[in-house]
Structure 1
Amino acid sequence: MRIVTGDDIGSVCSWPFAVEALRAGHLMPPADLRDSLIESAGRKMLVRTAWIPGLASGVKAVTIYPDNPSSEQALPSVQGQVLLFDEAQGNVVAVLEGVDLTAWKTAGDSALGSSCLSRADVKTMLMVGAGSMAGPLIAAHRAVRPSLDRVMIWNRSAARAEDLAATLDGVATEVVSDLDEAVSRADLISSATMTTEPLIRGAALRPGTHVDLVGAYTPTMREADDATLTRGRLFVDSRATTIAHIGELMIPLASGAITEADIEGDMHDLVQGKAGRQSPEEITVFKNGGGAHLDVMMAHAVYLALAGR
Structure 2
Amino acid sequence: MALSRTVWFDAEQLRTAVAMSTVIDRVREALIGLHEGEFEIPLRFAPGVGNFLVMPVRHIASETLAVKSLSANFTGRRPALSGTLTWEEWHTERHIGADAAEATAMRTGAVSGVAADLLAAPDARDLTVIGAGGQAPDQIRAVLAVRPISSVTVAALTRESAEACIARVDGEFPDVRFIASDEPRAAVAGADIICCVTPSTEPLFTFNDLKPGAHVNLIGAYRPAMREMSGADVARARLFVDDVEAVAAESGEIIEALETGGLVREDLRTLGSALATGEMGHDPARVTVFKSVGVAVQDWALMRALVDTTAVAGSD
Q: TM-score, normalised by structure 2?
A: 0.88
Kept in 2, the 8 Å contact 1:83–1:92? The answer is no
Q: Which residue of 1 aligns with 2:124?
A: 122
Deviation at 1:291, TM superposition (A): 1.5
Q: Which residue of 2 aligns with 1:158?
A: 159
Q: Which residue of 2 aligns with 1:60?
A: 68
How far, CA to CA, are the matches of 2:239 and 2:23 in structure 1?
Answer: 23
**Greater Cα offset, 225-234 or 282-291:** 225-234
Q: Which residue of 2 aligns with 1:72?
A: none
Kept in 1, the 8 Å contact 2:154–2:181? The answer is yes
How far, CA to CA, are the matches of 1:201 and 1:225 in structure 2?
Answer: 8
Deviation at 1:242, TM superposition (A): 1.4
How far, CA to CA, are the matches of 1:85 and 1:151 in structure 2?
Answer: 38
**Greater Cα offset, 298-307 or 283-292:** 298-307
Q: State the SS of the aligned residue for 2:84.
A: strand
How far, CA to CA, are the matches of 1:229 and 1:150 in structure 2?
Answer: 25
Structure 2: 5+ residue stretches without partners: none
How far, CA to CA, are the matches of 1:254 and 1:90 in structure 2?
Answer: 47
Deviation at 1:11, TM superposition (A): 2.3
Cα RMSD (Å): 2.1
Cα-to-partner distance string for 1:215-256 (whole Å, 9 max, x where unaligned): 011111110123431331000122232122221211221121
2:84 alignment partner, one of 61, 68, 81: 81
1:180 equivalenced with 2:223 (yes/no) = no
How far, CA to CA, are the matches of 2:183 and 2:110 in structure 1?
Answer: 28
How far, CA to CA, are the matches of 1:231 and 1:244 in structure 2?
Answer: 20
Deviation at 1:278, TM superposition (A): 5.3
Kept in 1, the 8 Å contact 2:241–2:247? The answer is yes
Kept in 1, the 8 Å contact 2:232–2:257? The answer is no
Q: State the SS of the aligned residue for 2:216.
A: strand
Relative distance call for 1:183 and 1:195 in structure 2 (3 A) is same
1:303 equivalenced with 2:307 (yes/no) = yes
Q: Which residue of 1 aligns with 2:240?
A: 235
Cα-to-partner distance string for 1:47-82 (whole Å, 9 max, x where unaligned): 11111221322211111122353xxxxx41111111
1:138 alignment partner, one of 137, 140, 159: 140
Relative distance call for 1:57 and 1:287 in structure 2 (3 A) is same
Kept in 1, the 8 Å contact 2:203–2:230? The answer is yes
Q: TM-score, normalised by structure 1?
A: 0.89
Q: Which residue of 2 aligns with 1:38?
A: 47
Aligned sequence identity (%): 24
Kept in 2, the 8 Å contact 1:200–1:228? The answer is no
2:45 counterpart letter in structure 1:
S
Cα-to-partner distance string for 1:237-289 (whole Å, 9 max, x where unaligned): 222321222212112211212222222x2132132134522532221100122
Q: Which residue of 2 aligns with 1:287?
A: 291
1:121 counterpart letter in structure 2:
D
2:149 counterpart letter in structure 1:
L
Deviation at 1:208, TM superposition (A): 0.6
Relative distance call for 1:77 and 1:212 in structure 2 (3 A) is same
Kept in 2, the 8 Å contact 1:43–1:65? The answer is no
What is the number of equivalent residue pairs in this alignment?
Answer: 299
Kept in 2, the 8 Å contact 1:66–1:77? The answer is yes
Q: Which residue of 2 aligns with 1:4?
A: 8
**Greater Cα offset, 212-221 or 295-304:** 295-304
1:198 counterpart letter in structure 2:
P
